[in-house]
């Protein structure tokens, strides 16, 4: 176990150092960091390690959560309306995670962002397609990697394509879970493109507590972007009978971070494997009044 942890740490540091070295000047594809799951966006983006968060969208967040999921799999679809006072884009996403063996997991995901003002009759849009591979070592440790291809169609004959990856390692003891790694590491595929994607070193910590019919979840997630920006999100969730949930979270970030500071609230419901989650973002002039909803099923 110690040797495996050493390898993971060395790999993470190496990738982070490489990303900092090659990172060019401008920032592209900030939509890579937009949460596709309202169960997370209702916590202001915190909670990647919470056991109650479905891993269906793991291809966009934490692949190391898949081997620790309950059951054999989960699927989810979401719709969101992002930044209505500014760009007013619509977002749809679908994702699925499976655990075909006790210590092995995989996931797939697709997201599409559209609805921007047309330019010469062309509607700009973005999309992401990705997959995950993950494995566990014993009952307490897991790690995984996401591999994503994204493209931003800016004009009819102008687009930016990016390949990026996440590598996360996770550990769980009792109600405590923690994960560290790197997220959105990559660069545009056009070698002449000097833009930079929002890569970061990431950490996520959470605590899950159940007493009687009540459950309490607390989460703290942070990102240090290789652009020297940063963001920290704290979230809290209260559940009754593992059926109904109320969520609140706040993210505090540097001025130029890919996801800005904001307050988020959310609600969720679960019944016989089916889930419904809704989130709403406020207290930010750029992304304020954004909302998201999703339907899911776990089996």
Q: Shortest CA distance to 246 belongs to which of 81, 36, 39, 34?
A: 39
pLDDT > 90 in the chain, percent: 81
Q: pLDDT category, 85, cuts 50, 70, 90?
A: confident
Q: Span 99-108, mean pLDDT?
A: 95
> Would you call 98 helix, strand, or coil by DSSP?
strand
Alpha helices per DSSP H over the chain? 2-22, 38-41
| Phi, psi (deg, nearest 5) at residue 206 | -150, 160
For residues 230 and 253, give the distance between their C-alpha atoms in angstroms, rounded to a whole number: 6
Mean pLDDT computed over 70-94? 94
User: How confident is the model at residue 16, as a pLDDT?
Assistant: 38
Q: Tokens 């207290």, residue? A: 283
Which CATH superfamily includes the segment(s) 2-298? Outer membrane protein transport protein (OMPP1/FadL/TodX) (2.40.160.60)
Q: List pLDDT tens digits, range 109-122.
A: 999 999 988 888 89
Q: Are 44 and 115 in contact (CB under 8 A)?
A: no
pLDDT at 46 over 60: yes
Query: What average pLDDT score do residues 159-164 get?
Result: 94
pTM recorded for the entire structure: 0.89
Dist CA 46 CA 65 (whole Å): 14
Q: Do residues 179 and 204 touch, judged by C-beta distance below 8 A?
A: yes
* pLDDT of 11 higher than 70: no
Q: How far apart (Å, rounded) are the C-alpha atoms in residues 113 and 124?
A: 9
Question: Could you give phi then psi for residue 92, rounded to 5 degrees?
Answer: -125, 145
The pLDDT score that the predictor gives to residue 21 is: 36
- Compute the mean pLDDT over every residue in the chain, rounded to the nearest whole number: 90
């Amino acid at each position: 176990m110690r040797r495996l942890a050493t390898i993971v740490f060395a790999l993470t540091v190496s990738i982070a150092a490489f990303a900092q070295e090659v990172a060019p000047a401008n920032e592209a594809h900030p939509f890579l960091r937009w949460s596709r799951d309202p169960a997370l966006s209702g916590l202001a983006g915190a909670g990647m390690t919470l056991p109650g968060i479905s891993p269906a969208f793991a291809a966009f967040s934490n692949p190391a959560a898949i081997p620790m999921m309950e059951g054999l799999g989960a699927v989810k679809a979401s719709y969101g309306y992002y930044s209505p006072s500014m760009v007013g884009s619509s977002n749809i996403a679908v994702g699925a995670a499976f655990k075909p063996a006790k210590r092995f997991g995989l996931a797939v995901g697709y997201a599409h962002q559209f609805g921007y003002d047309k330019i010469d009759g062309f509607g700009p849009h973005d999309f992401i397609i990705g997959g995950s591979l993950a494995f566990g070592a014993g009952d307490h440790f897991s790690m995984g990697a996401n591999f994503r291809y994204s493209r931003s169609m800016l004009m009819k004959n102008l687009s930016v394509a990016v390949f990026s990856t996440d590598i996360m390692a996770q550990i769980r003891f009792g109600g405590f879970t923690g994960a560290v790694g790197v997220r959105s590491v990559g660069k545009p595929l056009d070698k002449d493109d000097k833009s930079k994607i929002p890569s970061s070193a990431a950490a996520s910590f959470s605590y899950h507590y159940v007493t009687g019919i009540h459950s309490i979840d607390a989460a703290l997630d942070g990102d240090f972007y290789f652009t020297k920006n940063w963001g920290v999100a704290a979230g809290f969730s209260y559940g009754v009978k593992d059926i109904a949930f109320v969520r609140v979270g706040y993210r505090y970030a540097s001025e130029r971070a890919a996801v800005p500071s904001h307050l988020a609230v959310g609600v969720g419901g679960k019944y016989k494997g089916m889930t419904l989650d809704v989130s709403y973002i406020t207290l930010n002039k750029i992304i304020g009044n954004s909302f998201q909803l999703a339907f899911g099923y776990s089996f």
